[in-house]
Amino acid sequence: MNILFLGDIVGRPGRTSVARWLPKLRRTHPIDFVVANAENAAGGTGATPDVLDELKRHGVEAFTMGNHVWSKKNLLAALARFPEMARPANYPDGAPGQGAIIVETSKGVKVGLLNLLGRVYMDPLDCPFRAADLALEALRAETPIVLVDMHAEATSEKIAMGWYLDGRCSAVLGTHTHVQTADEWIMPQGAAYITDVGMCGPLHSVLGVDRNIIIDRFLSGMPARFELAKGPLVLSAVLLEVDEATGRARHIERICMRESDADANA
């Protein structure tokens, strides 16, 4: 089967890029299932029920999250409405939501999703490696197809997770840093890997934020309120081909759709 995984969707610009390009990608690529990281989808921080519903209307079928999962409090009250959303599995016991989920595609194929949060330069949560050990056994009892979203800052932690889980999942896909890396490959025991899928959002930005705000912050050393950038859009994703019987990845392809200045101003 073919699975499209969209990188971090950043605010309204990211949602617009999904609305614009996802239907086209479905026409030009054999896509059976669409997953997106939505932890920045509402105003650049967190997600709301309305935003997740909007992305579902655009064709996203399942969601992973990250360190901003609890930024919008109204999502907490609506978690039961979104069984297709995985939050980081290495939150302590008792945290709301689920870190490992099974989602059934329109063709009746079960796909496991595991969301993990890195600890290097991030929140001091439980160990993501040990959380993966606990979650994968249950997921693989349901389906051989399991995608792991490793939401982390450090490339070393993401790469280490890829090696740690190779042979036990279909893919380890890095998110959080919003810059698509060029290291996609199929690991020796069959897991697809990329250090970061990238983002869906404003192209002329610093990780989605207005570039002038970030430049001024670097120059002055003073705090500033972040605002999302305007202008041309980008959609970053990977397309995976996975063997339904074994769960091994056969192929991983980077996708990057960029809007020109002329298109943005039209």
Torsion angle in degrees (nearest 10) through CA of 171, 48, 66, 185: 30
Decide if 141 contacts 150 (C-beta within 8 A): no
Count of other CB atoms within 10 angstroms of residue 39 = 29
Q: Which of 68, 151, 176, 178 is catalytic?
A: 68
Q: Write the CA distances from 184 to 14, 169, 192, 203, 204, integer angstroms.
A: 22, 16, 7, 21, 24
Helix (H) or strand (E) holding 196: none
Is 29 in the active site? no
Q: Which residues, in sequence order, are CB contacts of 94 under 8 Å at separation 6+?
A: none
CA 145 to chain centre: 17
φ and ψ at residue 210, rounded to 5 degrees:
-50, 120
Catalytic residues: 68
